[in-house]
Amino acid sequence: MFRRGWELWAAFVAAILITAVYGGVALFTRRIPPAREIFGLSLGIFGFIMMLMTEILYSLRKRSRLARWGRMSDWLSFHIFTGLVGPYMVLLHSSWKFNGLAGVITLFTIVIVASGFIGRYIYTRIPRTADGIEIEGGISKEALMQARRLMAWWHTIHIPIGMVLFAAAFVHAGGAIYYALYLR
């Protein structure tokens, strides 16, 4: 029973711990941690790495014929966990300032996380084995086809938004490195 949805609970606990550390730093310094200083920068870097892991590792396991390590259901849980915790860390990295490219990236991050919740809901409507393989029985063919169509539509929205998000995030990181190193 606890196995189903563990990633949501783990992400919730991780977010509470990260929030506690963030709050401790804010209390100690008596200000919101700036994105350009070590703590805020660390949140952004580690959050972005988690977001990259969300996309790259799950996609590799899902699409590669050679990558057959672990069950797909476990990789989907990992995808959900890192897809929640990473964006939360990046949100904290923003120092609650949402202007310019960073604001656009934050908007795309919120959209992609919300889209992920929708996709998880659609995905759970399709009966599957523990390995993530669809089961034909137990649901009418009409409801199964409708869920598959919804999942296909969801993919056509979720994946391009994710690509735009990562492209913008790389531009942001490149710009931050450029300004930090060359225009100081």
User: Is the confidence at residue 3, as pLDDT, over 80?
Assistant: no
What does the pLDDT read at residue 134?
62
Amino acid at site 1: M
Cα dist. 138→70, 110, 147 in Å? 26, 35, 14
What does the pLDDT read at residue 2?
43
* Residues 107-165: tens digit of each pLDDT: 888 899 899 888 888 877 776 665 556 666 656 777 877 878 888 888 898 889 989 99
What does the pLDDT read at residue 21?
96
Distance CA 108, CA 122 (A): 21
User: Is the confidence at residue 174, as pLDDT, over 80?
Assistant: yes
Residues 6+ apart with CB under 8 A from 166: 51, 52, 55
What does the pLDDT read at residue 66?
72
What does the pLDDT read at residue 136?
64
The domain spans of the chain are 6-182
Question: Whole-prediction pTM value?
Answer: 0.79
Report the mean per-residue pLDDT for the chain. Answer: 84
Average pLDDT of span 12-41 = 93
- What residue spans of 30-140 are helical by DSSP H? 38-63, 72-93, 100-124
CA dihedral 99, 103, 104, 106 (to 10 degrees): -170
User: Is the confidence at residue 1, as pLDDT, over 50?
Assistant: no
